Amino acid sequence: MGVTSAGFDPRDPEAAVSAMARAVSNWGRWGEDDAVGTLNLIDDAARARAAALVRTGVSLSLSLPFDMNGPQRGWRRRTNPVHTMLDTGTDAERGSQGFPHGIGGADDVIAMPLQCSTQWDGLGHIFDHGLAWNGRRAGDVVTSDGDLVTGIEHAASLVTGRGVLLDLGRHLRPDTGELEDGYAITAADLDACIAAQGPTSAVGTGDIVLVRTGQLARAKRDGWGEYAGGPAPGLSFTTATWMRERDIAAIATDTWGFEVRPNEFENAFQPLHQVVIPHMGLTIGEMWDLDALAEACAASSRYEFLLTAAPLPITGAVGSPVNPIALL
């Protein structure tokens, strides 16, 4: 197999990653000390414009539940959340909590990987040949003490802006609304979806793009199966240039891994991640539930909205759970 029509040799992911990294690099764009990458593109004016998009006040959560019934299967020690009660109503009824004048209460604790369900990938999550975002040495950025430079806490106040839904599942598979596993979404697919949905789905500087494939709808209906880490529709490696040219601030999908799986190269693992996180400085969201939003957008023929999706300010974390809210 030689070079594909997309312009890369599927036998040589290393060369393709290197060439794409040079083409889309944002290293130095926001200064050598930058910690948030493309989130710099959401400025105060962009947030004000996004706030003006709220028309009906309808509020939709785009998060999966955080519970033991989630998609994780233990890959690389990723488990579903373990929720444990520390104090309960039974304790209160029995008067065993030691509080005066009859007051009682309940407390709980949760243990989970930060990327076990709906989440953001931080800039310290992926490296390329030992280099992190902005050309720093990976070992200088993330140590056993956490991400010392680009920790997710730096993004805590930044991820509020114009959200745009691109419903590729509905556009490409109108009968089912679900792309098949292994389908690679191209730049041409993205542009065609925008054209079909209309001007409210135009994508530009500072936007937060949400790409619905329909895979999550299938998993919710048929069972998780290999949703976490298995075959999936997703973004083609070639869309890195599309994202860079439009200067998006962040992107999220309804799949486990954002990009198409299996990946488009022989013997490759997440090459699009390897380009857009450490080189472009792009924040990526995964496992977002976009189904209710897709229904609302289709009903109103409006695909833009105010989106707020603040990560938890966990000091030094390379990812974070999130409960994204779309306000229509």
- The residue type found at 228 is A
Examine residue 311 and say whether the peptide bond preceding it is cis (omega within 30 degrees of 0).
Answer: no
The domain defined by 13-74+114-327 folds into Glucose Oxidase; domain 1 (3.50.30)
Rounded distance, CA 104 to CA 94, Å?
10
In 3D, which of 76, 115, 139 has the Cα closest to residue 269? Answer: 76
% pLDDT > 90, the chain: 97
Rounded distance, CA 169 to CA 255, Å?
12
Average pLDDT, the chain: 96
Residue intervals of the chain classified under CATH 3.50.30.50 are 13-74+114-327
pLDDT score for 8: 85
* Phi, then psi, of 246 in degrees rounded to 5: -90, -5
Assess whether pLDDT exceeds 60 at residue 2.
no
Q: What is the pLDDT of residues 282-303, one digit of tens each?
A: 999 999 999 999 999 999 999 9
Q: What is the pLDDT of residues 166-202, one digit of tens each?
A: 999 999 999 999 999 999 999 999 999 999 999 999 9
Q: What is the pLDDT of residues 58-111, one digit of tens each?
A: 999 999 999 999 999 999 899 999 999 999 999 999 999 999 999 999 999 999
Rounded distance, CA 327 to CA 304, Å?
9
pLDDT score for 3: 56
Q: Is 155 helix (H, G, I), strand (E, B) or coil?
A: helix
Q: What is the mean pLDDT of residues 5-23?
A: 90
In 3D, which of 126, 120, 103, 64 has the Cα closest to residue 277? Answer: 126
Q: How crowded is the C-beta side of 223, counted as CA atoms within 13 Å?
A: 3
- To which H or E segment does residue 143 belong? strand 142-143
Assess whether pLDDT exceeds 90 at residue 242.
yes
**Lookup: tokens for 123:** 């800039």
**Residues 248 and 242: beta-carbon distance below 8 Å:** no
Q: How crowded is the C-beta side of 33, counted as CA atoms within 13 Å?
A: 0
- Give the burial class of 131: count Cβ atoms within 10 A of its Cβ; 0-12 exposed, 13-18 middle, 19 or more buried: middle
pLDDT score for 187: 98
Q: Is 233 helix (H, G, I), strand (E, B) or coil?
A: coil
Q: Is 99 helix (H, G, I), strand (E, B) or coil?
A: coil
Q: How confident is the model at residue 1 (pLDDT cuts 50, 70, 90)?
A: very low
Q: Which residues contact 17 (CB under 8 A, 6 or more apart)?
A: 128, 271, 274, 275
Q: How crowded is the C-beta side of 319, counted as CA atoms within 13 Å?
A: 19
Predicted model pTM: 0.96
